[in-house]
Every structure is written in C-alpha cells, then in structure tokens.
Structure 1
Amino acid sequence: MAGGNAIRGTRVGAGPIGESERGESAPRRRVSYWCANGHEVRPSFAVDADEPEFWDCPRCGCPAGRDEEQPPAPPRNEPYKTHLAYVKERRSDSDGKAILDEALKRLRERRGE
C-alpha cells in the first residue's frame, strides 16, 4: 500500500521546464577578465549591458581587469594593529606620560592621598 503521498518521487522545481514556460532568455556574451595571479574569469552579460571595468576573481579574490598583460594589482593587506598601536600613532611618549601623570594625580586626590 502506498504511503498516501500523491506527489511521491517529485520535488520542487522538478519536471520539464523550458523556454516555453520561462520565456526566451536575453542574448548573452562572455567577457574575459584576468587577475594578477593569471586566473581568467568569464562572466556572461546581456548583449546590451555595460560590462564593469573590474571583476572579482572567484578563485583568489583579487580584482581582475580586461587587459591580460596589465591586470590590476592585488590589494595591499595591512597588518592587524592593536588599539595601543593606533594610540601610539596619535600621541608621543611625552604626551602619554603627561596624560598618565594627570590621571594618577586625579586618582590620588579622590583617594585622599
């Protein structure tokens, strides 16, 4: 005896669906982009669409350009900086010492020293 499922063996999206049900697809063209690592990416665009100047390479994530001989340079990765490194960029050692002395003075006054 069957399990009572009338649509057994099918799934959403299954079945013959073609141009007659979806409509005609727009005419397409493929455009080549190259990244600094030599990977070629060929996304497709509608014939009447403007293609972008750059495209992200799906293999390495670098930007890819239309010129195979002169691909765009990979982005420069900045090393991770701590909060203290950013503070030291803005303040000199003498500024830091003055701020610390002022904070310690206020703390000692609050404690009654």
Structure 2
Amino acid sequence: MGSGNAIRGSRVGAGPMGEAERGEAAPRVRVSYWCANQHEVRPAFASDAPIPEIWDCPRCGLPAGRDRSNPPAPPKNEPYKTHLAYVKERRSEEDGRQILAEALERLRKSPHRPKITY
C-alpha cells in the first residue's frame, strides 16, 4: 500500500529541466593538445577565455602542448632526498663537526643534564 507521497523516489533537483530553466550555455571552443606519448586531449573552453599553452594529459599525466609535432618534454623526476641530504647541501662536514661540538658543550654545562652511570 502506498503512503500517498506524490514525490516518492524523487530527489532535489530531479525533474524535466531544459535549456530554458538553466539558461543558455556559453559558447565553447575545443582545443587539441598532444603529450610526448602522442595522446590527444580536447578540453572545451569558453570562447572568450584565454587558452593555456600547456594542459595535463589525463591518460599519462605528462604535459601536453598544442603543437602535435613538438610536444613538451616530460618533466625530470628528481630522486627523493632525505633531510640529511638537504642539510649536506647547506653545510660542510666541518660546519657539522663545529655545530655538534657546540651542542655537546651546552649539554655538558647544563644543570639538568641526566646522570649516566655505567
């Protein structure tokens, strides 16, 4: 038996909705982009919007350009660097020894230094 609810099975925004209710769509232009793997991407842009020179390929993730014969080069993948590698770029071995010596000296002079017994 029905509950008498006339909108059962509907959701907000459902129903016949045409261009008259939504308004006119902006004029569009499709632009072709090619990546280094020769995948073609054709995004649509508003006709009065600026067209970007590079677009990301959704298939492989490489940058795609508008010139099919000369697509952008794939970006170089830099290997993962550890924190120590970044520190070594900024400091020399001698700097490291000096900083360590200063830190150890501060610890030795600290009144809250833990007592180590062997």
Q: Same fold by TM (over 0.5)?
A: yes
Match of 1:66 in 2: 66
1:58 partner letter: P
Cα deviation for residue 25 of structure 1 reads 1.8
2:23 partner letter: G
Q: Which secondary structure state, in structure 2, belongs to the residue aligned with residue 77 of structure 1? A: coil
Find out whether 1:14 has 2:14 as its counterpart: yes
Q: Which secondary structure state, in structure 2, belongs to the residue aligned with residue 74 of structure 1? A: coil
Query: Normalised by the size of structure 2, how large is the TM-score?
Result: 0.80
Q: Which secondary structure state, in structure 1, belongs to the residue aligned with residue 80 of structure 2? A: coil
2:78 partner letter: E
Q: Give aligned pairs, total.
A: 112
Match of 1:31 in 2: 31
Superposed CA RMSD = 1.9
Unpaired runs of at least 5, structure 1? none
Cα deviation for residue 47 of structure 1 reads 2.4
Query: Normalised by the size of structure 1, how large is the TM-score?
Result: 0.83
Cα deviation for residue 35 of structure 1 reads 1.3
Cα deviation for residue 18 of structure 1 reads 1.2
Unpaired runs of at least 5, structure 2? 114-118
| Cα 1:93/1:25, change in 2 over 3 Å | same
Q: Which runs of 4+ in 1 moved over 4 A?
A: none
